[in-house]
């Protein structure tokens, strides 16, 4: 964690020197562990996390806002099912029998993780209303995020920033367009909606965030096309800061990288480096890739001007009058 903090603090300094207003860091910037048990052991509450407090100090020192993904421990109560009666196979039980035999709750509590993003203000304080816990968990091949991670319970409403209104999502959320559409949907027309509906509707996000740690196979196949799709269908800016390279010497876990910014018309305006195959073509294990971060990919930073005028122009020129 200390190594990750040092790297992130250097990026804060570098971004501030370049004149940036906000630094966007990837999902799980505090650490990516080698096992679920290690991940649980390393997690700290936000208020006492050295990684978070270190970033807060750096943000305050450089007057730079920071958006970053972290792990947060959360107690989860276990609910057990016992003596479940199958009404198709048995006579209907009496009310007293049903209440005592269909379900039973236990008092056991286990610790899981929230995959969370937080927003650190320019003065180093936390924007409590900006925290978001990942809704869609990544269960793919041998990676089973749900084994140790608790899914979030709700969207975080879009919140204001120096760049515009922010809509927070994380990594695997990218595959669910409904989430992006929900955060960026414009208010209903006054003529066809009640005053109450108008009042209750949130202001749409102008910028969608997808801090990520995409795997290499899924990244190669879908990373760019999904990011561009979310930008096009929501007519919004998309910022996706991504982990890149191998997570620890000799570790099996490798992230695809290629952090990207896409404008509301679907154009890629920033793309950083990713991974490459460094295997020896003469090696006996021919055909097996050995993937490492491209030269310069670790700690690479991109700059982009977020033009909200373009956000407005795209929506005016191609209005999406939704009927769904």
Which residues carry out catalysis?
27, 134, 171
What does residue 208 show for φ and ψ, rounded to 5 degrees?
A: -100, 135
Do the Cβ atoms of 182 and 135 come closer than 8 Å?
no
CA 201, chain centre distance (Å): 23
Query: Under 8 Å CB-to-CB from 17, ≥6 apart: which residues?
Result: none
Q: Report the C-alpha gap between 172 and 274 in whole angstroms.
A: 18
DSSP state letters, 21-55: SEEE--TT-S---SSHHHHHHH---GGG-HHHHHH
Q: Whole-angstrom Cα distance, residue 104 to residue 115?
A: 29
For residue 124, CA distances in Å to 165, 253, 289 come to 20, 32, 42
Separation of alpha carbons 257 and 244, rounded Å: 4
Question: Helical H runs in 18-49?
Answer: 36-42
How far, CA to CA in Å, does 96 sit from each of 87, 93, 101, 104? 15, 8, 9, 14
């Amino acid at each position: 964690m200390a190594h990750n903090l040092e790297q992130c603090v250097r990026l804060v300094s570098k971004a501030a020197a370049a004149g940036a207003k906000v630094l966007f860091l990837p999902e799980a910037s505090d650490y990516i562990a080698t096992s679920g048990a290690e991940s649980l052991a390393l997690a700290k509450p936000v208020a006492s996390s050295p990684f978070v407090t270190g970033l807060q100090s750096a943000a305050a020192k450089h007057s730079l806002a920071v958006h970053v993904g972290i792990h947060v421990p959360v107690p989860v109560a276990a609910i057990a099912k016992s003596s479940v009666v199958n009404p198709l196979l048995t006579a209907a039980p009496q009310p007293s029998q049903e209440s005592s035999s269909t379900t039973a709750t236990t008092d056991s509590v286990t610790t899981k993780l929230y995959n969370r993003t937080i927003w650190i203000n320019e003065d180093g304080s936390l924007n409590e209303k900006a925290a978001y816990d990942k809704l869609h968990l990544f269960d793919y091949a041998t990676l089973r995020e749900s084994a140790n991670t608790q899914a979030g319970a709700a969207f975080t409403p879009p919140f204001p920033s120096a760049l515009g209104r922010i809509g927070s999502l994380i990594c695997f959320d990218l595959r669910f367009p409904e989430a992006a559409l929900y955060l960026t949907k414009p208010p209903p027309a006054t003529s066809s909606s009640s005053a109450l509906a108008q009042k209750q509707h949130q202001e749409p996000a102008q910028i969608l965030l997808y801090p990520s740690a995409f795997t290499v196979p899924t990244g190669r196949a879908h990373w760019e096309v999904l990011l561009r799709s979310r930008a096009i269908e929501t007519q919004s800016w998309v910022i996706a800061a991504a982990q890149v390279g191998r997570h620890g010497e000799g570790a099996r876990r490798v992230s695809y990288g290629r952090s990207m910014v896409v404008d509301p018309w679907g154009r890629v305006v920033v793309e950083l480096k990713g991974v490459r195959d460094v295997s020896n073509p003469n090696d006996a294990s021919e055909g097996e890739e050995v993937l490492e971060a491209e030269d310069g990919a670790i700690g690479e930073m991109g700059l982009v001007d977020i033009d909200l005028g373009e956000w407005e122009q795209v929506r005016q020129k191609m209005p999406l009058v939704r009927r769904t």
